[in-house]
Structure 1
Amino acid sequence: MRGSLLSLLTLTSAVSAWLPAERGLFKSEARSLSIGQGRSLTKRFNPDKIRGVNLGSLFIVEPWMMSQAWGDMGCGDQKSEFDCVNKLGQDAADAAFKKHWDTWITEEDMDKMKEYGINAIRVPVGYWMVEELVDPSEHFPRGGLEYLDRLAGWAASRNMYMNLDLHGAPYSQEIHQPFTGQYSEDAGFYQTSQYERAYTFLQKMTEHIHKTDAYRTTGMIEVLNEPQRTHDTLIPEYYATAYGKIRETEASLGVADDKKLTIQFMAESWGAGNPRTAVEGKTDVAFDDHRYLKWASIDQSKPSYIATSCGDTFGGNDNSPIVVGEWSLAVDDAQESNADWEPQGNKDWYKQWWGAQVQAYEKGLGWFFWSWKVQLGDDYRWGYRQAVEAGVISQNIDDAAGLAKC
C-alpha cells in the first residue's frame, strides 16, 4: 500500500483496456436530489471512479449476514452452502436456493443502487457455477448461471460495470470460511489438480461473458478471492497460468484487444506474495486490496481509524491499478457494541469515517463496499443500503471528501 497518485494514474491508462473509463461507461447523468420541503435540485454526476458494492450472499451465502433468510431456506443450523445442500438433498436445496436467488437481489435493489450513486457491482461466485466441475462427492446448488445471466443483464441495462469474482475455489482456498462455499477443515485448493478445475471455470466463464450480450458491461474477472498466505505455488503456477488460460480463450474467440477482460489478482498487501511477478509485462491487469481496519494492526481508536483512512495509499510494488474490493464500517470486535462505537448513537462519526475511506480509495480506481444488504437488525455497518437509509452514507458520494475532514 505504497506509491504515488501520479504513478497510479499513469499506469491505469497504460495497462488496463477494459475498465469503465476506457468505454465512457460512467457517462454524465442528471439526478434530482431532495433539498427538503418538497423541493429538489438537479445535479450532474460524472464519476470516473468505480463506486460499487459487493452482492454478498447472493451466489455464495455467508450465514452470519443473512440469518433470517438462511433459516427460511431450511439451512439455519448449517455453516455453509455445501452443508445445507447435503442436509436438504439436491432437489429440495435447488428449489430453496432458486427462491433465494430470486429474492435476495431484485431489480428494485439495482434501481436503488443507481439512485444512491452506485455504478458497479462485484459478484462473488463459486466454481460450481460451472456445474460440470462439481464432483459427485460435492454438494452445491444447481441452476445459478441462469440467475447470474439475469443479473448481468440488469447491470448492463443500467450502465453498471460488473466484476465477476471467483470467491469459492475447488476444495476451498481457506479453512473455516463460508465465503468459499464450504466450511472446510483443510484448504485443499493449492494443488495442480484443483488449479486445473479453476482454470476451466475461468475459461468457461470468459467464453460465456464474451458470447452473451447480457455481459456487455462485465469487464473484470478476479481469479481468486482471499487466498491463504502460505502457498509457494499460488503466484508462479496458479496466477501465471490463470492469466494465460483467460487470454488463450479470448484469442480463440478472436476478442479484440479493447474488449479483453481486465484480469484481477489480490494485491501484495493481502500478504500472499506479489502477483505482479507472475504477470510482469502483461497488459489488462488490475489488483484488489481488502481494507478492514477492524482487523488491522493499528491502534483501535476512533482517531486512529480516521487518521489511517485519511492517509491511506495503495498500489505499491507496481500493484497498480488497484481497486479496494472489500471494506465496511465495521469496527473492532471487542468494541463494536460499546457506547462509544455502537451504530445508532455514533452516526456522525461513522459518516466521517465513511467519507475518509471513500476519499482514500478513490486515489486508485475506486471501491466495492461489503456489502449491499445484510440482515443485522439496526446495525448498518456492513450494509450499504441500510447505512444510506440510516443517514450515515450520503446519497451524493461526492460529499465524501468534505465529510472526511482530512
Structure 2
Amino acid sequence: MARYSMRWMLGFCVFHCLLSLSGARETPSFKYKAVNLGGWLVTEGWIKPSLFDGIPNKDLLDGTQIQLMSVTQSKYLSAENGGGTIIVANRTSPSGWESFSLWRITESSFRMRVFNRQFIGLNKQGEGTNLVAATNTSGPSETFEIVRNDDDKNRVRIKAPNGQFIQVRTEHLVTADFSGNSSWGDDDPSVFVMRIARTLQGEFQITNGYGREKATQILQEHWKTFIVEEDIKFVSENGLTAVRIPVGWWIASDPTPPWPFVGGSLQALDNAFSWAQKYNVKVIIDLHAAPGSQNGWEHSASRDGFQDWGRTEENIQQTVDVIEFLTARYAKNPSLVGVQLINEPLSPGVSLEALNKYYKAGYDAVRKHSSTAYVIMASRLGPADSKEFLPLASGRTNTVIDVHFYNLFSDVYDNMTVQENIDFVQTNRSRQLNAVTTSNGPLTFVGEWVAEWQVRGATREDYQRFAKAQLEVYGRATFGWAYWTLKNVNNHWSLEWMIKNNYITL
C-alpha cells in the first residue's frame, strides 16, 4: 500500500511538473510580440514605391483627386452643392466640392466622381453639351480624356464623350462644345491648370494601372521576393513570436479573383504558414481590405477614396464568406492563432449597427471551423468609443479587441518634443489601453504601432527611449502587440531595420 501511494504521489508530481513546464512554455508566447507583414499581400505604395514605376501616367491612377482651374477665369471647376446638379467655374480656392476623384479607364481616359458620389457627364442623358454631375452610375457617356500639354503636364484640356473639348464660357456655364486645336495660352477657354490634391497607391491602383497581364507578373514577383522564408526565420530569432498578415478580400477567389485583382496571393499565404510552422511562429490573419473599402484608404484597396463597405447585406455576407474561407483553410494548421475580422473600420461611415452584425456573423464563421482561434475585433477609428464592442466580445470565447496607436496622423503631435511624445505614451496611451482592458472581458491587442513620430532631428537614443516606452506600455496588452511593419523603405517603419541598427531591443 505504501509502495502504491509512493508511486501514485511520484506520478502526480511528474504530471504536475510536466503541466507546469507546459504552462511555462505557453506563458511567454501567449502575450504575442508580433510584427505586421504590411505591403506584401495588400499593396501599399509608400512601403515599396518602386512597384509603381512602370505604370504610364502613374500620377493619374484610380482615386487620384484632381482640381481644375480655368486659365481664362482663374477660377476652379466645382460641383454645385457637392453634386446632383451643374458644374460651375466660380471658386477662387479648391476644397471638397472642387475636387474630382478619378476612375481610370485607360492610360488617358477617366471618369470623374464628385463630392456627393455622382459622376460628371453631359446633360440630356449624355446628348447635351452642358456639364453636370447628376448620375450615380457611370459608363461611356461619363468617360473623359485628359489631354496633357507636352511641355507642362499640369496644363490640360479635357475631351468629352461627344468628341468636343470642355470650355468655360462663364462662371456658371461650362460646356463641352469647343473643337479644334489649341495654342495652350491663357486666352483659351478649353485650357485648365490641373492640381493633384491626393493620390492613392493601393491594390486597386497597381492592378488597374498595369492591367491584369502585367500586374500579374509584377505582383507575383513581389510576393515571391518581398517576404521569404529567411524573414520568418529572422522573426523567430529576434524575440518575436507571431506575424500579423494583412490580406485582401479577393484572396478567397484565388486563382481567378474579380477584376482588377490578380491571382497568386493565396499561394504566398500558404508559404507563410509553412515557414511559420517550421520556425514556431504564430500567424494572425488580418482582413485588411474588405469589399467596397471600410475606410476609403489605399490600404483597404479603395478605388476612389469612398467608403462603401457595410452599406448592403450582400456586402457584409461576402465578407463573412471570406472569413469562413480563410478559417476553413488554416484551422488545422498549428500556426494559426487568430483571425482579425476587419482592419480599421472608419466611423461614422461604417455604422455601429453594421459592424455589430458583421462581428457576430464573422465570429460564428470562425467558430464553425475552429473552437480555439482567437477572433479579433477592431475598434472603429474616428469619432467612436473604443469600448463599444466590449459587450459583444465579452459574451463570446477567445475574443480580442484591437486598438492602433500612432503618434502621427494628427496635428496634435506636430509640435511635441521627444519627452512629450514619451509622456503621451505613458499617460494617454496607457489610459486608452486600460479603458478596453477588463477583468472578465476580451483580451486586448495593440495591432499596429511604430517608433516613428513628428519630431525632427531626433537621435538614435531618442528613438530608443520612444520605442522602449511603447514596448513597456503596449506590453500590458493582454493578447500582445504587433509593430507596423517588418519591411519598409522608410527606415523607422521597418522593424527589421530597427532591430539590425539597435534602435529596438526585444
Query: TM exceeds 0.5?
Result: yes
- For 1:286, give the aligned amino acid: V
Larger Rg over CA atoms: 2
1:173 paired with 2:294, answer yes
1:158: how far off? Answer: 0.7
1:229: how far off? Answer: 1.0
Q: Specify the alignment match of 1:262 in structure 2.
A: 374
Structure 1: distance between partners of 2:22 and 2:488 = 32
Distance verdict in 2 for CA 1:76–1:54, change over 3 Å: farther
Structure 1: distance between partners of 2:395 and 2:282 = 26
1:105 paired with 2:217, answer no
Structure 1-normalised TM-score? 0.75
1:282: how far off? Answer: 1.0
1:384 paired with 2:495, answer yes
Q: Which structure is richer in relative contact order (CA contacts within 8 A, separation 6 or more)?
A: 1
Structure 1: distance between partners of 2:242 and 2:54 = 29
Structure 2: distance between partners of 1:25 and 1:156 = 20
- Within the candidate set 445, 467, 476, 1:354 is matched to 467
Q: Specify the alignment match of 1:281 in structure 2.
A: 395
Pairwise CA RMSD: 2.8
- Within the candidate set 301, 316, 337, 2:435 is matched to 316
1:132: how far off? Answer: 6.8
- For 2:500, give the aligned amino acid: E
1:310: how far off? Answer: 2.7
Higher helix residue share: 1
1:315: how far off? Answer: 4.5
Structure 2-normalised TM-score? 0.61
Q: Which is further off, 315-324 or 184-193?
A: 315-324
1:207: how far off? Answer: 0.7
* 1:160–1:217 CA contact under 8 A, matched in 2: yes
Q: Specify the alignment match of 1:86 in structure 2.
A: 208
1:131: how far off? Answer: 1.1
Q: Specify the alignment match of 1:302 in structure 2.
A: 418
Q: Specify the alignment match of 2:5 in structure 1.
A: none
- Within the candidate set 284, 288, 292, 1:163 is matched to 284
- Within the candidate set 435, 453, 458, 1:331 is matched to 453
Please give the secondary structure, in 2, of the residue aligned with 1:130. Answer: helix
Structure 2: distance between partners of 1:357 and 1:125 = 26
Structure 2: distance between partners of 1:189 and 1:206 = 21
1:265: how far off? Answer: 0.6
1:189 paired with 2:309, answer yes
Any unmatched runs of 5+ in structure 2? 1-19, 62-200
Structure 1: distance between partners of 2:381 and 2:308 = 23
Q: How many residues align?
A: 333
Q: Specify the alignment match of 2:31 in structure 1.
A: 49
Q: Which is further off, 65-74 or 178-187?
A: 65-74
Structure 2: distance between partners of 1:277 and 1:359 = 28
Cα deviation, 1:18-66, whole Å, max 9, x if unaligned, reads xxxx9969949xxxxxxxxxxxxxxxx9565211110000101110111
1:366 paired with 2:480, answer yes
Cα deviation, 1:256-308, whole Å, max 9, x if unaligned, reads x4xx2110011378754411233342111011110101246467221121112
Q: Specify the alignment match of 2:75 in structure 1.
A: none
How much identity, in percent, do the aligned residues show?
22
- For 1:223, give the aligned amino acid: L
1:390: how far off? Answer: 2.1
- Within the candidate set 207, 227, 242, 2:328 is matched to 207
Distance verdict in 2 for CA 1:386–1:76, change over 3 Å: farther
- For 1:87, give the aligned amino acid: G
Distance verdict in 2 for CA 1:184–1:277, change over 3 Å: farther
Distance verdict in 2 for CA 1:135–1:23, change over 3 Å: farther
- For 2:41, give the aligned amino acid: F
Higher strand residue share: 2
- For 1:185, give the aligned amino acid: G
Structure 1: distance between partners of 2:380 and 2:300 = 21
Cα deviation, 1:202-255, whole Å, max 9, x if unaligned, reads 1111111125xxx321110001100011113233322222212322x22xxxx5
* 1:120–1:160 CA contact under 8 A, matched in 2: yes
